[in-house]
Structure 1
Amino acid sequence: MPIASHPVSLMRRLCSQAALLALVAAAGPAAADVGSERGIKAAFVSKFIGYVEFPGQAGAAPAPLVIGVVGADDIAAELSRIVGARGINGRAVSVKTLAAGGRLGAVDVLFVGLSEADRAERLLRQAAAEGILTITEFDRALRQGSVINFRIVDERVRFEVSLAAAEKAQLKLSSRLLSVAYYVDKGAR
């Protein structure tokens, strides 16, 4: 019996897809233009934050969170609309558009758009050293050090995760996030 038609494999796949849809749906009715790829990615980014423990966060009062976006002004605008005044998990959130080649500054999350793929490796290294959650949308991003990378699979937005990159940035990822990822790279641990 082929693995795709095996009842247990099929059930896991269906549960994973349902959890993925729930993750985006939990962003709320004012979330994103779910008809657009950019809107879906922005909704995911806003939800990922709730499934990550940042360095020094355990037991600390929730400080304001800063999302930096480079190479994707449309994602930055959508994220600003999504998080608005409500924040994420009780934390105030601001979204900053960063200049290509500029400094990261004080950001907690960095989204690197496709247009910056050729220059991303330096940003990803810097972000890892500073405990920043990195999210990208281009091929080979996990190998360059991204923690989360978007992919289009069967015309759907999916994401992959690098546990080694998360560990290097001292980020703790929830098992719930990992369970809905399209692919989890466990790396050399």
Structure 2
Amino acid sequence: MSRPPVAKLPRRRVLAGLLALAAAALGHGAAHADGGGAGLERSVKAAFLYKFLMFTEFPASAFADPAAPLVIGVAGADDMARDLMRLVAGRTVNRRPVLVRTLRDSDAPDGLHLLFVGGSDAGQLARLARPGQQAPLLIVTEAENGLQYGSVINFLIVAERVRFDVSLDAADKNKIKLSSRLLTVANHVHKGAP
């Protein structure tokens, strides 16, 4: 018996599959935010960040050449950066290696494809992602009002599970396209300003 296409699967099954992939990538059996405490939550978010790259289309201009890596920048979450470095070691996305850089407030997000801003200070995003930025960039946050500060994806905890909201307006402004498969499993998709 053949499997139905992913687009036809119920939203819950797609989310369960994405969570299972994220958890399997880390060797965890569940994607709950509580079971292992903050460490498990961080690991699940790290796996999601890696998976988000698989569901994001960057224009060719985002890369110096066909072999250029996908670069994830992490600000305000050194533990997350370490988890991500372990997770992406030796892995590729669309035949591109994945690299992780730890950023400080004074660092510019130059050369990044995904910027993760950790912590509850959504204002940190405003300090890092400078107005008028020209390069395509997937911005992910975990602050309560992350989408209002220009984040494309913002993590939140819903019923003790790591979930995420998406801003299509921010994706357009940041010159990236998100797969409908990713949008299907989002907690909420904002089509205009959040």
Q: TM-score, normalising length from structure 1?
A: 0.82
Q: CA deviation at 1:31?
A: 2.6
Give unmatched runs, 5+ long, in structure 2.
Answer: 1-8
Give the Cα separation in 2 of the matches to 1:28 and 1:89.
21
Give unmatched runs, 5+ long, in structure 1.
Answer: 1-13
Q: Which residue of 1 aligns with 2:41?
A: 37
Q: CA deviation at 1:120?
A: 1.6
Q: Which residue of 1 aligns with 2:164?
A: 159
Encode CA deviations 1:37-89: one digit per residue, 9 max, x unaligned. Answer: 0011001110010111012269x835311100000111111111111112233
1:52 to 1:30, Cα distance in 2 relative to 1, 3 A: closer
Q: Which moved more, 1:21-30 or 1:60-69?
A: 21-30
Q: Which runs of 4+ in 1 moved over 6 A?
A: none
Give the number of aligned pairs: 174
Q: Which residue of 2 aligns with 1:5?
A: none
Q: Give the superposed CA RMSD.
A: 2.4
Q: Which residue of 1 aligns with 2:111?
A: 106
Question: What percent of counterpart residues are identical?
Answer: 49
Give the Cα separation in 2 of the matches to 1:134 and 1:71.
14
Q: Which has the higher helix share?
A: 1
Q: Is the 8 A contact 1:72 1:114 kept in 2?
A: yes
Q: Which residue of 2 aligns with 1:21?
A: 16
Q: Is the 8 A contact 2:155 2:162 kept in 1?
A: yes
Code of the aligned partner of 2:56:
V
Q: Which moved more, 1:154-163 or 1:82-91?
A: 82-91
Q: Is the 8 A contact 1:70 1:116 kept in 2?
A: no
Given the alignment, which residue of 50, 65, 70 partners 1:46? 50
Give the Cα separation in 1 of the matches to 2:123 and 2:67.
34
Q: Which residue of 2 aligns with 1:77?
A: 82
